[in-house]
């Protein structure tokens, strides 16, 4: 089953995301904060389903307009598991947030 993000069909494999990789911007620039302690991608912990991004700002009701929050990867790969959880990849959605934006240029995870 192909993946879709913003109406665009994505290929089967997507870049593996790691601690420090960026998520899509909203009010501030979030990045992946947690990941596997024993599975590394390019020497960095692999950020997976349930792993959160760093505290950052998200749009909320004005007069505040931007509120602080964190968000986990909602679903990772259905076929690649890291410690029993879906491996995180670019364009994987985040709960009540955006999606993972950047990842490893040379490690690709499918489905």
Q: How far apart are CA 82 and CA 8, in angstroms?
A: 27
pLDDT of residue 64: 75
CA 44 – CA 41 distance, rounded (Å): 5
3, part of any domain: no
Q: Is residue 5 part of a domain?
A: no
Q: Is the pTM value of this prediction over 0.75?
A: yes
Q: Say if residue 17's pLDDT is above 60.
A: yes
Residue 93 CA from chain centroid, whole number: 6
Q: Is residue 4 in a domain?
A: no
| pLDDT, tens digit, 9 for 90 and up, residues 44-90 | 999 999 999 999 999 888 887 899 999 999 999 999 999 999 999 99
Percent of the chain with pLDDT over 70: 89
Residue 4 pLDDT: 53
Task: For residue 30, give the CATH number of its domain.
Answer: 2.60.200.60
Domain total in the chain = 1
């Amino acid at each position: 089953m192909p993946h879709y993000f913003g109406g665009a069909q994505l290929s089967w494999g997507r870049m593996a995301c790691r601690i420090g990789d960026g998520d899509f911007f909203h009010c501030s620039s979030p990045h992946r904060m947690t990941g596997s302690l024993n599975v590394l991608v390019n020497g960095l912990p692999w950020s997976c389903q349930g792993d959160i991004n760093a505290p950052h700002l998200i749009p909320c009701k004005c007069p505040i307009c931007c509120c602080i929050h964190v968000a986990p990867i909602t679903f990772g790969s259905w076929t690649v598991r890291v410690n029993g959880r879906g491996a995180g990849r670019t364009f994987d959605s985040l709960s009540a947030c955006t999606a993972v934006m950047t990842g490893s240029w040379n490690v690709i995870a499918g489905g």
